[in-house]
Amino acid sequence: MYLIISLVLFLSLGYDALAAPAAALHPQQRSKSFRVERVRRSDYIAHGPAALRKAYRKFGIVSTDFSDLDLDDFEPFDDLTRTSKSASYTDSSDGTDQTGSVSATSVQGDVEFVSPVQIGGQMIVMDFDTGSSDMWVLNSELPESMVSNRTVYNPSKSSTYKKVDGTFKISYGDSSNAQGGLAKDVVSIGGATVKNQVFGLPTSVSDSFISDENSNGLVGLGFTSINTFDPGPQKTFFDNIVPDLDEPVFTARLKSEGVGEYEFGKIDHDKYSGSLVNVTVDSSNGFWQFEAAQFAVGDGSLQQITDTPTAIADTGTSLMLVSPQVAKAYYAGWAQYSNSVSGYIFSCDADLPNLSVAIGNKFQATIPGSLINFAEIGTNKTTGGTVCYGGVQSNSGSSLQIFGDVFLKALFVVFDHRGPSLGFGSPK
């Protein structure tokens, strides 16, 4: 249902609500479109603190949200690191017109969504990430101890592999990193092919990446300007495929606990209700960045965000990292911040309120409380009840709010190269 904040300025995009009207997206007369399914692997247990650490590491955020609370009666589960080396995918491309679909699988209870990518004819499960612009893949040049029992790219098995002069080094806030040389090969996603896609071929990878057995690499879908390759930025897969698309767009439909999809070159109007609303993107920092300067909790009044009025849409981040002001207001009175897990926790029996956030200066999206209950994390030693971890957490005073999968799962999202802009709709 609609959450009406202002008849003039705001119309919510609730989980089941219609979107407000927006300017039409005008298709260009090109030749291709293709789909990439995003499928959830169900054999994982979500770990909220690990998801938060991963997001902080990615953006170099140092936590400052410490409190005196360190719940003595909170006991974390011991089995949060269970893993599996299996993965599944679907590729329905017919190989003729470079159209098709590929799965995007949610793993660890929506901690991460992965999709199959063909590199030199080898199918590798990777993570699509709109919050970065590097493509790199785990490979056979790494020590056997790092890549055993997982499917990685082997240059010697590709007749189209080419070495590229240059290097790459990705370093994160906690000094985790991947580094090595560059390569180019035929990369196919959903049947659409880039013949000479440049990507990183790491020879050294920190433990945090090796321990993530859900994904064997990253496909960056941010703007090419923040590609970190040396001697200079290299085009992303999206930038390379744009000239061949019917429309220079890709869409994301993430589904909690199920199969979602990316679709390139086409906006499937059967995937959302009502009309799309469009917001302007500021790409100067290389992100899909937009104004997000107001919020409301449940049926409460609209409040202005004073410290971090902008956000980015990031498929590579599991959680929704908001201004400390928003996090404190959202959890006030019913949840607690715990130093031991660096985030807000609460009884799993709690009835979570919805969170509404501004998208642009005219519209608002509502995230259902059910999506904000991220994962079970432990037990209360006093009551014996189960403790859960919030899918909305503080960005610890960072200059950006990072709207990851918790936000994106509530919406149908269009990433439009023109403008550029973002389109939001209520998913069917």
Q: Is residue 58 part of a domain?
A: no
Over residues 171-184, the mean pLDDT reads 80
The rounded distance, in Å, linking the Cα atoms of 4 and 1 is 9
Q: What φ, ψ does residue 253 adopt, rounded to 5°?
A: -125, 95
Write the DSSP symbol of residue 300.
P
Residues 180 and 101 in one domain: yes
* 181: containing domain: 34-45+82-264
User: For residue 63, which of 316, 305, 327, 292 has the smallest C-alpha distance?
Assistant: 327
Q: What pLDDT is recorded for position 17?
A: 38
Q: What φ, ψ does residue 285 adopt, rounded to 5°?
A: -100, 5
Residues 23 and 87 in one domain: no
Rounded to the nearest 5 degrees, what angle is found at the Cα of 202, between the Cα atoms of 198 and 205?
Answer: 145
Residues 250 and 285 in one domain: no
Over residues 98-120, the mean pLDDT reads 54
The rounded distance, in Å, linking the Cα atoms of 36 and 113 is 12
Residues 412 and 275 in one domain: yes
Residues 244 and 280 in one domain: no
Read off the pTM. 0.83
Q: What pLDDT is recorded for position 75?
A: 75
Range of lowest pLDDT (15-24, 278-287, 340-349):
15-24
Residues 386 and 304 in one domain: yes
Q: Is residue 333 part of a domain?
A: yes
**47 or 178, which is more confident:** 178
Q: Report residue 346 CA to chain centroid gap.
A: 24
Q: At 205, which CATH number? A: 2.40.70.10
**240 or 45, which is more confident:** 240
Q: Would the pLDDT of 18 be above 70?
A: no
Q: From the candidates 91, 134, 185, 314, which is the catalytic residue?
A: 314
The rounded distance, in Å, linking the Cα atoms of 113 and 38 is 6
Q: From the candidates 91, 110, 129, 185, which is the catalytic residue?
A: 129
Most confident by average pLDDT, 6-10, 72-76, 333-337: 333-337
Q: Would the pLDDT of 297 be above 80?
A: yes
Residues 224 and 314 in one domain: no
Q: What pLDDT is recorded for position 252?
A: 93
Residues 221 and 282 in one domain: no
Strand-by-strand arrangement of the 310-313 sheet: 289-291, 310-313, 401-403, 320-322, 392-394
Residues 313 and 200 in one domain: no
**235 or 57, which is more confident:** 235
Q: Give the pLDDT band of residue 16 (cuts 50, 70, 90).
A: very low
Q: Is residue 70 part of a domain?
A: no
Q: Report residue 347 CA to chain centroid gap.
A: 26
Strand partners, 34: 264
Q: Would the pLDDT of 184 be above 90?
A: yes
Q: Is residue 62 part of a domain?
A: no
The rounded distance, in Å, linking the Cα atoms of 425 and 266 is 15
Over residues 38-52, the mean pLDDT reads 60
129 labelled catalytic: yes
% of the chain with per-residue pLDDT over 70: 76
How many domains does the structure of the chain reveal? 2
**282 or 116, which is more confident:** 282
**207 or 140, which is more confident:** 140
Residues 279 and 248 in one domain: no
Q: Give the pLDDT band of residue 65 (cuts 50, 70, 90).
A: low
Q: What pLDDT is recorded for position 46?
A: 61
The rounded distance, in Å, linking the Cα atoms of 269 and 280 is 21
From 230, 249, 264, the end of a domain falls on 264
DSSP 307-347: S--EEEE-TT-SSEEE-HHHHHHHHTTT-EEETTTTEEEEE
**255 or 119, which is more confident:** 119
Structure tokens at 102: 């590929």
Residues 145 and 240 in one domain: yes
Residues 290 and 183 in one domain: no
